[in-house]
Amino acid sequence: MNLNRFLDVNPEVAEAIAAGKPVVALESTIISHGMPYPQNVETALNVERIIRENGAVPATIAIIGGRLKAGLTAEEIEYFGKKGQAIAKASRRDLAVLCARGQDGATTVTTTMMIAHMAGIKIFATGGIGGVHRGAETTMDISADLEELGQTPVMVVCAGAKSILDLGLTLEYLETKGVPVLGFGTDELPAFYTRKSGFGVDYRVDTPRELAACFKAQNDLGLKGGMLVTNPIPEEFAMPLETITAAIDKAIGECNEKGIHGKQTTPFLLARVAELTGGNSLDSNIQLVYNNAKLAAQTAKCYCEL
């Protein structure tokens, strides 16, 4: 598939890619749908700053006026933050229609991976990935993120799968798709707000250089698909597993009662969990994104040195 005629690469990002310098992709759904204004804009700009401080060029990805953008300006980030959920949440199925109609779209993990790959960006930092939803054996509600990881060669650095999901089934699905799940400094899959989940990762890796070497080997072998790096939220910002579990169970119950489903599910659950935890989950969310951005930038730098 070639969508390059719809692609605009920010000049700074294009120059870095051409020169073989490290670049880190960032999604825009976290700006428009993940947090309220103005924290969403502050967080997005801070993430870009952290990436620069760690030696890489940030490339926030979005769709504006039907154009696929790899690298946003501060003004464009502000625009996304202010419009918020009025901007369409764009997964793979939405790209063609949004481009044809000249509309805006906030990129998910799936579409950020796609556009990053089109632009030649290999490393992507986000908060958490989507996965297999609880009850998926009857609803078939499985995030497109998992399919994309199975076919698009981008490394995704995250804090694990969101703990509103069925983590065991999510790992099984990734195994079926041949996606390696690496734990950075951990043998256990982190669960977004918490460092523990009770599920193991495929491999523990302890340095950004080793992460880069693993991904370089995967690409050099010609293996199709991405690589998932799970980076636990820093200890001081982690929430107790029992606190977050209780909030998630309550939120899921309310979600089912209200008949919310499809792409509305995750934003509802994350917002409700934030309310139930007194806003603590939003603070945790911001800190884990910063932590992932730092690791992604360090890994991208090592990748370019190999």
Model pLDDT for residues 281-295, shown as the tens digit of each residue:
778 889 999 999 999
Q: Which of 129 and 241 is assigned the larger pLDDT? A: 129
Both 158 and 111 in one domain: the answer is no
pLDDT of 266 reads 74
Q: Which of 91 and 244 is assigned the larger pLDDT? A: 91
pLDDT of 1 reads 37
Q: Mean of the pLDDT values across residues 192-220? A: 96
Domain count, the chain: 2
Both 287 and 160 in one domain: the answer is yes
Q: Cα–Cα distances in Å, from 20 out to 64, 118, 122, 143, 288?
A: 27, 16, 11, 32, 28
Q: Which of 121, 156, 177 is the last residue of a domain?
A: 121
Q: Mean of the pLDDT values across residues 159-171? A: 90
Both 130 and 21 in one domain: the answer is no
Q: Which of 141 and 190 is assigned the larger pLDDT? A: 190
Identity of the amino acid at 268? F
Both 155 and 300 in one domain: the answer is yes
Six-digit token string for 15: 């120059």
Q: Nearest Cα to 113, choosing from 100, 99, 129, 101? A: 129
Q: Taking each helix axis as running N to C, give the angle between helix 74-83 and helix 39-53, from 0 to 180 degrees, rounded to the nearest 10.
A: 150
Q: Which of 100, 121, 142 is the last residue of a domain?
A: 121
Specify the CATH number for the domain of residue 106: 3.40.1790.10
Q: Which of 95, 121, 147 is the last residue of a domain?
A: 121
pLDDT digits (tens, 9 = 90+) for 80-116: 999 999 999 999 999 999 999 999 999 999 999 999 9
Both 165 and 259 in one domain: the answer is yes
Both 133 and 219 in one domain: the answer is yes
Catalytic residues: 27, 162
pLDDT of 279 reads 67
Six-digit token string for 189: 């899959």
Mean pLDDT of the chain: 93
pLDDT of 2 reads 43
Rg (the chain; Cα; Å): 18
Task: Answer for the pair 16, 26: CB distance below 8 angstroms, yes or no.
Answer: no
Both 1 and 63 in one domain: the answer is yes
**Lowest mean pLDDT: which of 5-9, 146-150, 193-197?**
193-197
Q: Cα–Cα distances in Å, from 224 out to 54, 148, 203, 219, 227?
A: 28, 11, 19, 8, 10
pLDDT above 70 covers what percent of the chain?
A: 98
Both 258 and 134 in one domain: the answer is yes
Both 149 and 224 in one domain: the answer is yes
Parent domain of 6: 1-121
